[in-house]
Amino acid sequence: MIKNQEEFDTLKRKAIDGDSESQCMVADVYADDTNAIHDVNEAVFWYEKAAEQGHTKAQCLIGTSYFQGIGVSQDLEKAEKWLIKSAQGGNSEGQYTLGGFYFMKPDIVKAKYWLEKAAEQSHDEAIAMLPNIQFLHDI
């Protein structure tokens, strides 16, 4: 990923200038608990910046943060909002996570729909989960 401080500083300048890909990458660095600069709050800040610009990976990750209460207070409405944006944007991880979100609600019809969308993109966990939903809920 990031090899040195100079490379990170360059990336962060791009993030500050509004580049959503750089914002998501900066968030990834802060989210990595093996980094000396690990900071969940900074990760959430940068994921949300990128998500607001339509970055589907960041939308999934900020949605997951709100779903699990990581770096923010748990907020299921915000979680659903961001996961829907990610899923509708075609992000297979967002589709899978939204399917899991609806499975926990439970709204099995929506869960199956989004898991199928993720499976269509060869998302391994979604593919593995679908037969269980179909078996358990006969849909």
Report the CATH number that the domain containing residue 60 is assigned in CATH: 1.25.40.10
Mean pLDDT of the chain: 92
Angle, CA 82 vertex, CA 77 and CA 87 arms, to 5°:
125
Q: What's the total number of domains in the chain?
A: 2
Mean pLDDT value across residues 25-46: 91
List the domain range (segments joined by +) for residue 123.
90-139
Which tens digits make up the pLDDT trace of 46-82? Answer: 999 999 999 999 999 999 999 999 999 999 999 999 9
| Same domain, yes or no: 7 and 51 | yes
Which tens digits make up the pLDDT trace of 94-124? Answer: 999 999 999 988 899 999 999 999 999 999 9
Q: Are 137 and 103 within 8 A, CB to CB? A: no
| Same domain, yes or no: 106 and 77 | no
Q: Which bin fits 54, alpha (ψ -120 to 50), beta or left (φ > 0)?
A: left
| Same domain, yes or no: 119 and 135 | yes
Give me the pLDDT at residue 137, please: 63
Give me the pLDDT at residue 136, please: 63
